[in-house]
Chain A
């Protein structure tokens, strides 16, 4: 069955047939079709089943407003759920599936339950499924299985997305008649203009009214002329298939452009994106987003074959599809007449049911002439049919009140359309706080042309409630004149004649819900189709005191669907107003929120996926590390070698080997990621005194010192070694993860609190690359490459630094040690990173020099009891808790950051958790990091916890396990024989542990002083 007619102005190309499938059936459509128009052309009526009751549903709208026709497009990795068939462009080979109806569209099991819909009103689930409580999971499972439309893909997306930023003088949203005109007027004035429109073709509703004459030419010629001129202007950019979906503060508009979904697979390009998210920052915005026609609410108004009057005329005029042979159109206003006339002209039998007693005399004449029967003062109380509409039952309406005064005739039909007036598309206007106003004459929530001019937002066309084209074009002209005048520009409308041949409009009837003459107990009359919200549900909500419109929305799910109530909201508000005995403006609207229409997560994410999800920072030695087969560990943004397994080694074997090699001979670590800050100025010592807990006044040139940094609450926030380069020049190091934070911290204190201190700081983290040469043989290795100074024990002491040459490269060497071994940290310009690493490896070859990663570094430092900020601290630890009073200069004159907080009543308690060493009774047991420490192995919750294990390793050097952790009063307990046993609890086991000193290796420091 084909409903396709060769309509003269249709936008489909009947010379380009396309083949597609829907729900397993193969059909034919044409280039220019949407899936919806093609299905209608093929006589497909039922495309979905309703959410709650499983009722058969057809296509109602022709664009973004469609609530029913949600389809699954494509298969495999490209399958996409919940697209609106009215927005899916047809291409050859398109595969579409249903998203509801089980086992089939023709028979939905839910419809059996749907027969009992009277027991399932709004919110019924809150009142039931409660008994017995333990069956709720079972009930819920059934509910969940019944819910949901399309299927999520199960394969990773293979197509790509990105973002593009725009900064324009003017953004025009909507490419209908008024948007095109606005863009042209602005473009002529030289503004940088961006025009976005969500459809594949510009023209908006003009595409549905091709016969109207504007300035004496027909609509398509008129818009073609404007589009041509726009395309010739280099300051104007047009983006079609681009939906502005959100408007944020200060006119930041997000819009998503569909780039490939409309193309047959074969011509889609891998290099091209599927979708692009445009982020548009616009000085001024013109919203020309038009309006949606809202249907009237009546019994069985969800039968397939029932649609909005403008959809009916759009399918006819734009797509050349006659949705039936015998149409009934119910309307409360003039707007449906033109479409009715077009249908009649195309040979379709048309009956108009006008709820008004007085109809527009001009249209009366015209309908008469076209043989259209008009029932004036009637409404449709109920549509009749089972799987598709077969007829309409009319009622006579009261002339003043919306009541049924008598039963009217039955009119058979195969398509039924209704028009309750237009609802302006005010969504974007409201996203960042704008509010629409109820206009009682136009029966619509509208926005005024310059409603938000102070924010730079202007509105033109149907969105302002101006529904006649000529008036809309005039208001566009005037608004643009005002906008341009505000920018000191004059409007140039030469050659534009904005008169049309429209029939002038007469008032509409204020009606939303057609009375059924049965006290509302007749057939279900749907307000929100997608969520099966009937007028009775709104009445029930009000009866139960869900009186705020927001409660009504949430209780009934009105406007909750993927159409966000584009067709239903205003009807819902009006019905609620009636039930509440309030006016519509008193009821108000629900909140408009992005997205205007749904946006893929992929587009939102843009290029921030995969390799570029988050930065990975690498050191200059990365290539070498990869060659050595390192496994990597992310540390902040950095990727650091974790360990260097040899073939066949697991992490334990590798780390044991690395540890022993380092302690017994020499190892090497890439320490480049430590933050490094060069600080200069005459007040640098004072600055450090304030920033650090320790004192810096006495540190001699050529020396280094470990420093602890506290936040103002007295908690340890960072640590590192800082070197005195000269009296006015220090080089600070920070933790790898903390570098940026510390840099900002320093700048903030300097800029805001202590601008009088003469210091400057510059990050040199990236400039220096650092190879830490560690182990008893490190001096010998270094000596082979560094001959310009005396490296002997007394000439280059522990905690000294020197500027030297290593392997021919200028280097700054620090004799510091995070392992407790004799060690040298060799810093060179990062350009030499790879080189220096390899030279040191070569030089160390005879000592079997062993590269090691962060894991070995952790073991070595734990053997020495050195903390790692972030592992052994958690933001609630003071220096005293760490037993590091030696790093706190309590006598410094300036109250250094965090000092006062150390004296608060809680922080100064002596029975806080303190850092101690822990030795498991069984040396082969390595405690779980994160194990909780308790007093006894007897576990009956709740068990008092004393602290936890922060670091725990097998020490190959000691041949046993070691750990560090916090224990309440730990330092005291450590020294009390009999009181120094605790249990570490993890994975359901308690392990006996002895509290000991946290220094496990070389307490005297003989090794690092060697």
Chain B
């Protein structure tokens, strides 16, 4: 892969009015047949294609995207990356991803601005603190950095936070993962697109998959808004739209698509240099490199595909942020938006074969899949290439909903992240 993004190239292009830059990714015409087709050019889909090409030597790959690449949840998340999950299966998967994040900028030659500024998950009740303790201990035994802090220790690290005992949900402590942080969401999509394209992957934007051609329980091809494409392997990575794709394949998924909203403040001078999340008050906040506070709200309880949610959810989140940081009351919201998240009953993803041969699903990341982007792509590529799960995603089958072997991460996943 060519690694031509560097300070030197930038300087030399600067002298030439930047007219020598070439497309970050190619936009080829769609071909009539591919070895593997990935549906959905979100971060996960693009990462899958990248690792398929890079690690499994498959070259004839297309990624089909109904809109613009990276325009789904990848474009609208609050970019929190962490791996402090409770159960071994989840923790190992997210930790695998976190490790990939740590080398991603270099690997794909694109600065994804992965910023390990640490993440605090606040505890406000005795039970929160028990859960934090349980999770931190599990993390440590799994080799994941995490620590439990008391309220004063939280205050020492985040001087702005209100730890007064008089609040409705006094802060009793937190779990803290130092290696966790945030990344630049768009750069992740663009960087993977560029890297995959460099390996020969065709990324086809404005190409919607409308039907699946399945014969004798084997995928044969896809009907798209740009015509029919034949293929024997399809990886479906369509996040909020996974149920729609599943329907096209004649299967049902344990998914509900809900609106999840977020908002940003106006740009401010640096004031918060870490990430703060609280399930009890329902809000989480970090400050981006550009200066705006990036704030995540909760999901709306109803299902929706409209990419917008109800205002009372945003209002509640603003109140939650003020509860934690009373000085932010005069800070103003600049823009709010919503995404469509595919939630599962156990707050864990599905990375699985299906009963249709050659059709694989990677979905159910719900409110928290951005952090998994490289790891998810990596294990999903393995699953598709080998028709067998990677050991790290073996537990995340569709079948667990029948056997009852759920991996309940509601506590660690919280409202959203």
Does A pair with B?
yes
**A residues near B, CB below 8 A?**
51, 70, 78-82, 116, 118-119, 121, 124-131, 133, 136-137, 140, 143-145, 147-157, 161, 163, 246, 248-249, 252, 254, 277, 279, 431-433, 520-521, 536, 540, 543-548, 550-551, 554-555, 557, 561-562, 564, 591, 593-595, 598-602, 604-606, 608-609, 611, 613-614, 616, 633-634, 713-714, 870-871, 874-876, 901, 904-907, 928-932, 934, 939, 941-943, 945, 948, 950, 985-988
Contact check, A986 vs B321: say whether CB atoms are below 8 A apart.
no
> How far is it, in angstroms, between the C-alpha of A550 and the C-alpha of B72 when the chains are bound?
12
Interface 0/1 of B317-354, CB less than 8 Å to A: 01101110011111111111100000001000000000
Closest to B4 in A: A127
Q: Within 8 Å CB of A126, what residues of B?
A: 5, 110-111, 184, 187, 190-191
Identify 17 residue pairs between A and B in the complex whose beta-carbon atoms are under 8 Å apart, listed by A's number. A126-B191, A130-B5, A136-B111, A144-B273, A149-B267, A249-B308, A521-B17, A593-B336, A598-B333, A598-B334, A600-B330, A601-B265, A601-B322, A602-B318, A604-B314, A942-B142, A985-B141
Q: Within 8 Å CB of B21, what residues of A?
A: 540, 543-544
Contact check, B266 vs A82: say whether CB atoms are below 8 A apart.
yes
Contact check, B24 vs A595: say whether CB atoms are below 8 A apart.
no
Closest 4 CB pairs of A and B: A930-B133, A148-B291, A941-B143, A545-B23
Inter-chain CB contacts under 8 Å: number: 324
Contact check, B337 vs A593: say whether CB atoms are below 8 A apart.
yes
Contact check, A606 vs B289: say whether CB atoms are below 8 A apart.
no
Contact check, B6 vs A131: say whether CB atoms are below 8 A apart.
yes
Within the complex, the shortest CB–CB distance from B147 to chain A, in Å, comes to 9
Interface 0/1 of B296-318, CB less than 8 Å to A: 00000000001010110011101
Within the complex, the shortest CB–CB distance from B229 to chain A, in Å, comes to 21
| With known contacts A144-B270, A929-B130, A125–B326 Cβ distance under 8 A | no
> How far is it, in angstroms, between the C-alpha of A555 and the C-alpha of B18 when the chains are bound?
15
Closest to A74 in B: B330
| With known contacts A128-B10, A876-B408, A150–B323 Cβ distance under 8 A | no
Within the complex, the shortest CB–CB distance from B141 to chain A, in Å, comes to 4
Q: Within 8 Å CB of B14, what residues of A?
A: 116, 118-119, 121
B210 at interface, CB cutoff 8 A: no
Contact check, B332 vs A82: say whether CB atoms are below 8 A apart.
yes
Q: Within 8 Å CB of B25, what residues of A?
A: 545
Contact check, B323 vs A613: say whether CB atoms are below 8 A apart.
yes
> How far is it, in angstroms, between the C-alpha of A432 and the C-alpha of B336 when the chains are bound?
12
Closest to B205 in A: A548
| With known contacts A130-B105, A156-B329, A246–B311 Cβ distance under 8 A | yes
Contact check, B290 vs A875: say whether CB atoms are below 8 A apart.
no
Contact check, B134 vs A604: say whether CB atoms are below 8 A apart.
no
B137 at interface, CB cutoff 8 A: yes
Within the complex, the shortest CB–CB distance from B272 to chain A, in Å, comes to 9
Q: Within 8 Å CB of A608, what residues of B?
A: 315-316, 319
Contact check, B10 vs A600: say whether CB atoms are below 8 A apart.
no
| With known contacts A130-B109, A598-B334, A613–B319 Cβ distance under 8 A | yes
Q: Within 8 Å CB of B306, what residues of A?
A: 433
Q: Within 8 Å CB of B328, what residues of A?
A: 152-153, 601
> How far is it, in angstroms, between the C-alpha of A129 and the C-alpha of B105 when the chains are bound?
10
Contact check, A874 vs B408: say whether CB atoms are below 8 A apart.
yes
| With known contacts A119-B14, A152-B269, A945-B88, A545–B27 Cβ distance under 8 A | yes
Within the complex, the shortest CB–CB distance from B332 to chain A, in Å, comes to 4
> How far is it, in angstroms, between the C-alpha of A153 and the C-alpha of B322 when the chains are bound?
12
B268 at interface, CB cutoff 8 A: yes
Contact check, B140 vs A125: say whether CB atoms are below 8 A apart.
no
> How far is it, in angstroms, between the C-alpha of A378 and the C-alpha of B6 when the chains are bound?
42
The contact of B267 among A82, A901, A930, by CB within 8 Å, is A82
Q: Within 8 Å CB of A551, what residues of B?
A: 68-69
Interface 0/1 of B394-417, CB less than 8 Å to A: 000000101111101011000000
Q: Within 8 Å CB of A901, what residues of B?
A: 404
The contact of B169 among A121, A150, A614, A931, by CB within 8 Å, is A614
B32 at interface, CB cutoff 8 A: no
Within the complex, the shortest CB–CB distance from A588 to chain B, in Å, comes to 11
Contact check, B267 vs A147: say whether CB atoms are below 8 A apart.
yes
Within the complex, the shortest CB–CB distance from A572 to chain B, in Å, comes to 16
> How far is it, in angstroms, between the C-alpha of A605 and the C-alpha of B314 when the chains are bound?
9
- Best-surrounded residue of A163, A432, A601 (most CB of chain B within 10 A): A601
Within the complex, the shortest CB–CB distance from B116 to chain A, in Å, comes to 7
The contact of B315 among A520, A605, A931, by CB within 8 Å, is A605
Contact check, B405 vs A906: say whether CB atoms are below 8 A apart.
yes
Within the complex, the shortest CB–CB distance from A101 to chain B, in Å, comes to 12
Q: Size of chain B's interface in residues, with CB distance under 8 A?
A: 111
Contact check, B6 vs A127: say whether CB atoms are below 8 A apart.
yes
> How far is it, in angstroms, between the C-alpha of A691 and the C-alpha of B63 when the chains are bound?
49
Contact check, B132 vs A930: say whether CB atoms are below 8 A apart.
yes
> How far is it, in angstroms, between the C-alpha of A546 and the C-alpha of B68 when the chains are bound?
9
> How far is it, in angstroms, between the C-alpha of A129 and the C-alpha of B5 when the chains are bound?
10
> How far is it, in angstroms, between the C-alpha of A389 and the C-alpha of B351 when the chains are bound?
60
> How far is it, in angstroms, between the C-alpha of A147 and the C-alpha of B111 when the chains are bound?
18
Within the complex, the shortest CB–CB distance from B326 to chain A, in Å, comes to 4
Q: Within 8 Å CB of A153, what residues of B?
A: 327-331
B2 at interface, CB cutoff 8 A: no
Contact check, B331 vs A600: say whether CB atoms are below 8 A apart.
yes
Contact check, B17 vs A252: say whether CB atoms are below 8 A apart.
no
- Best-surrounded residue of A151, A155, A600, A930 (most CB of chain B within 10 A): A930
Within the complex, the shortest CB–CB distance from B86 to chain A, in Å, comes to 9
Contact check, A157 vs B329: say whether CB atoms are below 8 A apart.
yes
Contact check, B327 vs A986: say whether CB atoms are below 8 A apart.
no
Q: Within 8 Å CB of B318, what residues of A?
A: 601-602, 604-605
Within the complex, the shortest CB–CB distance from A712 to chain B, in Å, comes to 11
- Best-surrounded residue of B27, B114, B168, B184 (most CB of chain A within 10 A): B168
Contact check, A149 vs B266: say whether CB atoms are below 8 A apart.
yes
Contact check, B326 vs A137: say whether CB atoms are below 8 A apart.
no
Within the complex, the shortest CB–CB distance from A471 to chain B, in Å, comes to 33
B271 at interface, CB cutoff 8 A: yes
The contact of B115 among A137, A148, A246, by CB within 8 Å, is A137
Contact check, B319 vs A604: say whether CB atoms are below 8 A apart.
yes
Interface 0/1 of B1-27, CB less than 8 Å to A: 000011101110011011101111111
- Best-surrounded residue of B9, B14, B103, B131 (most CB of chain A within 10 A): B14
Task: Supply 5 further A-B pairs (C-beta < 8 A) apart from A126-B187, A246-B336, A943-B141.
Answer: A130-B5, A609-B326, A613-B168, A613-B319, A616-B168
For chain B, residues 90 to 136, give those with C-beta under 8 angstroms from any C-beta of chain A: 92, 103, 105-106, 109-111, 113-116, 124-127, 129-136
Contact check, A544 vs B23: say whether CB atoms are below 8 A apart.
yes
Contact check, B404 vs A904: say whether CB atoms are below 8 A apart.
yes
Q: Within 8 Å CB of B275, what residues of A?
A: none
Contact check, B289 vs A147: say whether CB atoms are below 8 A apart.
yes
Within the complex, the shortest CB–CB distance from B374 to chain A, in Å, comes to 15
